Chains A and B, each alone.
Chain A
């Protein structure tokens, strides 16, 4: 167990980093503008991230598994470490980075090292969702923007009532966002370990039993929570007060839109419901919550008439789709080489 925990530390570090950074997307404006206390936000995120990860995390994780089944624990350690180092390094240089794109690159690096052919169909499905994610988020944001504007105008909601509804909305949508983040992004944190780590089923008070994967996801969820509690306050204050100054209602729309997108790309039950009715469904793929947020902010900007839109943001997102997986694939490949030849551990 200690051995497994040691090798999973890179994944847990990735989870910590996800909690520190991505949680700010959910509650940044609410906490930054003091509409919601940090402690309240942190508790909500932690609880719902873990619930989302345990209940709905499997779908997106299967897709990552289809891209590359990292069979040995040391290999999984390196894959997660390469992704974490890429995220850490690129963040340090102020470059836009996504954990999802980073882990995909690292898995491809492992595939190359292990001489396993990467399934192009799965890869193209994943890359397709990266493009679709901000676009869909922008569309949702524009739609919600019109709905909210019309409702506020039609019902002549008093400023103070609107403030109260917005606060309640931010809490509820934040909880939904945390659930979606846990469901969608837990695959990035723990997905690579599901093949190599096998834990006995764990019964919780006789009410329900957690499978090995669910236990891993719960552990990942806890590491995200630790990231939220230890480091996200600073990021939230930055997001809420300086990066993109938006009104609390706009923040609500942004979180709602990005969380909906994350949910669409994570929910197995929704996929089953859609396919059973002959409707097109969404592939279950981990996507970047930050890019979903940027898409939503742009969507609101477009709905307002498209003024003051910084197109360099779009260029940076596009650049991230290429640079992030490439960097982590290279780091992953080189690190696997060292792990195998210096530390003499099987990585595949």
Chain B
């Protein structure tokens, strides 16, 4: 890096980009939470009307990610941590992609969800959203306050385990308790349960990567 680049404040510019990117991810999580609950509760019209929102957020996340990647290489910033940061941002972007894909699939496939499962689904969506919320906090801590990373990793872990329990509970209900005649409907519900729970699985994986990256950041 040249002397001029060293003394120019590219750090602030990139810090702002990363903050904005994480805001977009956080907003995507809120939109996913709201829209998926609308679908479960049967507010299909509201759900369909707001479907574009997640696509816009996903595009915006992609743009920020590209910008950050470009600047990290152009200004030769954080050479030691660059790989970790890019991997974290790429992985978290996959969560946003997954959320968007899931909402679009709900819209297209319109799976039949018996009313008896509403509460379970709502609980699952809450837990999944919480896990992503804590993942974002975990990543923010990685940048600013590594001593907090493990605390957030534990939270993500906790919500992922709880989500797993609900996932299993829903699947058991679908295959053993509910009076659903068509097997295809059962499989369809299972598919969406697994896809929703996958969000927290991904959050857990990324939080573990963050935890390792944080260890590398220690002096």
State the A residues within 8 Å of B (CB). 33-37, 40, 145, 148-149, 152-153, 156-161, 163-164, 167-168, 171, 247-250, 253, 300
Contacts and interface: CB of A to CB of B under 8 A. Distances in A.
Q: Closest 4 A-B residue pairs measured CB to CB?
A: A160-B11, A164-B11, A163-B78, A159-B143
B144 interface: yes
Contact of B78 (A37, A149, A159, A300): A159
A170 B76 CA distance: 15
Interface string B17-51: 01000000000000000000000000000000000
B142 interface: yes
B172 to A, nearest CB: 44
Contacts of A153: 145, 147
Interface size class of B (residues with CB under 8 A): 20 to 34
- SS of B interface (majority): helix
A103 B6 CA distance: 38
Contacts of B143: 158-160
Interface string B135-156: 0000000111101000000000
Contacts of B3: 40, 171
A76 B3 CA distance: 40
Contact of B144 (A149, A156, A253): A156
A53 B64 CA distance: 50
A152 B144 CA distance: 9
- Residue among A37, A153, A156, A163 with the highest chain B CB neighbour number at 10 A: A163
A156 B11 CA distance: 15
A159 B144 contact: yes
A229 B80 CA distance: 25
A33 B81 CA distance: 11
Contacts of A168: 6-7
A193 B213 CA distance: 53
Contact of B2 (A33, A40, A253): A40
B6 A145 contact: no
Given A160-B11, A163-B11, A164-B11, A34 B79 contact: yes
Interface string B59-102: 00000000000000000111111000100000000000000000
Given A40-B2, A160-B77, A160-B78, A250 B144 contact: no
B108 interface: no
Contact of A163 (B2, B77, B145, B219): B77
A164 B218 CA distance: 16
A247 B11 contact: no
Interface in B148-187: none
B188 interface: no
Contacts of A40: 1-3
B77 A149 contact: no
Contacts of B209: none
Nearest to B10: A164
Contacts of B216: 247
B219 A253 contact: yes
B189 interface: no
Contact of A152 (B2, B6, B77, B219): B219
Interface string B187-219: 000000000000000000000000000001111
B105 to A, nearest CB: 36
Contacts of A149: 219
Given A158-B144, A161-B15, A249-B219, A37 B77 contact: no
A282 to B, nearest CB: 27
